[in-house]
């Protein structure tokens, strides 16, 4: 029943992806869950259901990414919900490609240290698309990913990363999943300690959302402490510190 990928012996941790065929029904047909014939919607609710299903697989599993990709074999989009268990560590992807009700199996490879869970969020994909189009994006949606990004020496932010068919090689459009504000890709990647009200607000809201998430397992602290604060405090040098979102002061990395 399980497909477990071989562990790669490198600095990147490989999370073995396991697709469970009995878990696919929670993902509705993308054409039925959209405000238009093509754009999936209701993603905040679907993310909660995906998290619950992942917890049935591993009690300490966290949702870490949502990916919506254009499916050229149909008129819809493929929805994929990625989760991982930090204890093992192993990964789980729940995905469906309309109109077929089949689950695909594929390896899921990410770095272990900077992985931060996706908490409950408010900005749905159609809303994020409207913001991106107002910011200058052109063309039809090619792919959209919801994940946590870590600006250098700044609090992490939860963003929609959007690309269209007309702009495949240009920087993607980013929309904060709490404020609904458009964020520049370079602004998120390297803010250089500059004052940025929009970025600071996005980081503050993600922090609050992670603090509200229930502890998993119950005896642990919370995802903000486990996945953000503790890695920062354990950073060995200024480069690792800044990459994790911390600030290096007096040879100590502080959140």
pLDDT tens track for 24-39: 444 444 333 334 447 8
Close Cβ partners of 166 (under 8 Å, ≥ 6 residues apart): 138, 139, 140
Look at residue 10 and tell me whether its pLDDT is greater than 80. Answer: no
More confident residue, 35 or 228: 228
Q: What's the confidence (pLDDT) of residue 135?
A: 93
For residues 117 and 62, is the Cβ–Cβ distance under 8 A? Answer: yes
Closest CA to 207 of 153, 255, 145, 144: 255
Split at pLDDT 50, 70, 90, the class of 188 is confident
Given a contact cutoff of 8 angstroms between Cβ atoms, the answer to whether 18 and 92 are in contact is: yes
For a pLDDT cut of 90, what percent of the chain falls above it?
Answer: 46
* Cβ-based neighbour number of residue 89 at 10 Å: 17
**pTM score, whole prediction:** 0.83
Per-residue pLDDT band for 230 (boundaries 50, 70, 90) equals very high
State the DSSP code for 225.
Answer: I
Cα 95 to Cα 104: distance, rounded to the nearest angstrom:
7
Question: Is the model's pLDDT at 161 over the cut of 90?
Answer: yes
* Cα dihedral 97→100→105→108 (10° resolution): 10
Phi, psi values for residue 157, rounded to 5°: -130, 150
Tell me whether the omega of the peptide bond preceding residue 99 falls within 30 degrees of 0, making it cis: yes
Q: Hey, what are 129's tokens?
A: 């698309």
The neighbouring-strand residues paired with 65 are 82
Inform me whether the pLDDT recorded for 211 exceeds 70.
Answer: yes
pLDDT class of 43 with cuts at 50, 70, 90: very high
Question: How far is the C-alpha of 132 from the C-alpha of 71, rounded, in Å?
Answer: 21
List, in order, residues 6 or more apart from 218 with CB less than 8 Å away.
Answer: none
pLDDT of residue 48: 93
176: pLDDT strictly greater than 60: yes
For residue 168, what pLDDT is reported? Answer: 65
Q: Please tell me the distance from the alpha carbon of residue 40 to that of residue 32, in angstroms, as a whole number.
A: 8
pLDDT higher than 70, residue 233: yes
pLDDT digits (tens, 9 = 90+) for 80-132: 999 988 887 778 898 877 655 554 545 466 566 678 999 999 999 999 999 99
Of residues 18 and 38, more confidence is placed in 38
- Please return the burial class of 113, using the count of CB atoms within 10 Å of its CB with bins 0-12, 13-18 and 19+: middle
- Taking residues 178-191, report their average pLDDT: 87
């Amino acid at each position: 029943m399980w497909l477990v990928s071989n562990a790669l012996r490198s600095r990147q941790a490989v999370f073995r992806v396991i697709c469970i065929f009995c878990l696919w029904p929670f993902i509705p047909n993308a054409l039925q869950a959209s405000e238009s014939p093509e754009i999936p919607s209701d993603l905040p609710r679907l993310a909660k259901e995906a998290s619950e299903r992942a917890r049935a697989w591993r009690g300490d599993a966290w949702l870490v990414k949502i990916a919506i990709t254009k499916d050229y074999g149909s008129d819809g989009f493929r929805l994929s919900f990625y989760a991982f268990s930090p204890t093992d560590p192993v990964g789980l992807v729940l995905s469906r490609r309309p109109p077929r009700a089949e689950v695909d199996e594929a390896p899921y490879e990410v770095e272990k240290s900077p992985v931060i869970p996706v908490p409950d969020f408010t900005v749905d994909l159609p809303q994020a698309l409207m913001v991106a189009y107002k910011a200058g994006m052109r063309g039809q949606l090619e792919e959209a990913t919801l994940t946590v990004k870590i600006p250098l020496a700044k609090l992490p932010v939860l963003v929609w990363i959007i690309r269209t068919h007309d702009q495949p090689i240009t920087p993607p459009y980013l929309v904060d999943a709490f404020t609904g504000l458009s964020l520049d890709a370079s602004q998120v990647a390297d803010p250089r300690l500059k004052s940025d009200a929009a970025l600071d607000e996005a980081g503050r809201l993600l922090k609050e959302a992670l603090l509200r998430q229930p502890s998993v397992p119950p005896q642990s602290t919370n995802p903000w402490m486990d996945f953000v604060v503790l890695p920062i405090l354990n950073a060995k040098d200024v480069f690792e510190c800044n990459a994790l979102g911390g600030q290096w002061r007096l040879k100590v990395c502080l959140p």
